[in-house]
């Protein structure tokens, strides 16, 4: 729904959303296994690329902010799951994608890896998925993630 919103409203940031299988496939079998996932989309024409991250028993979010040239990691458990390593993997993915689709190298060394420490934190052991959805919504709208908290997650 967020991707449809992004495409329907020209005032919204242009976003591409990978599905929840992308990160697992990328980490277990490498770029060759996901290279065709973007045959119908130019990632470099997007403002943001949203990557849900299933980390075993936890969800977090990676965002490749193409417009502002940065990689962002959102985690509702204070990035206790190797955020820098994950963002490094996403950087490598984007380099591979550029080489494959654009047939040239891209220098991403100036793109910072940002662990978003202002991300709201969950107060329990089971709301990480809801937080990840909210992080993705905020990123796709271009608004700060500080607009919600655990209090907004009724159960």
Q: Where are the alpha helices (DSSP H) in the chain?
A: 2-8, 22-29, 83-102, 128-141
Measure Cα distances from 81 to 19, 25, 55 in Å.
Answer: 20, 18, 8
CB 114 within 8 A of CB 28: no
- What residues are labeled active site? 58, 75, 128
CB 61 within 8 A of CB 52: yes
Q: Is the dihedral of CA 14, 21, 69, 116 positive or negative?
A: positive
């Amino acid at each position: 729904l967020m991707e449809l919103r992004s495409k329907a409203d020209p005032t919204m940031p242009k976003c591409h959303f990978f599905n929840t299988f992308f990160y697992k496939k990328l980490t277990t079998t490498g770029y060759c296994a996901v290279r065709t996932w973007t045959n119908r989309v130019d990632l470099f024409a997007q403002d943001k690329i949203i990557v849900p991250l299933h980390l075993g028993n936890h969800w977090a979010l990676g965002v490749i902010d193409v417009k502002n040239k940065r990689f962002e990691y959102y985690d509702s458990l204070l990035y206790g799951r190797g955020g820098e390593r994950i963002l490094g993997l996403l950087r490598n993915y984007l380099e591979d994608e550029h080489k494959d689709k654009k047939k040239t190298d891209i220098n991403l060394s100036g793109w910072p890896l940002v662990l978003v420490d202002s991300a709201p934190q969950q107060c329990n052991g089971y709301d990480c998925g809801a937080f990840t959805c909210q992080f993705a919504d905020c990123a796709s709208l271009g608004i700060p993630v500080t607009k919600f908290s655990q209090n907004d997650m009724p159960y």
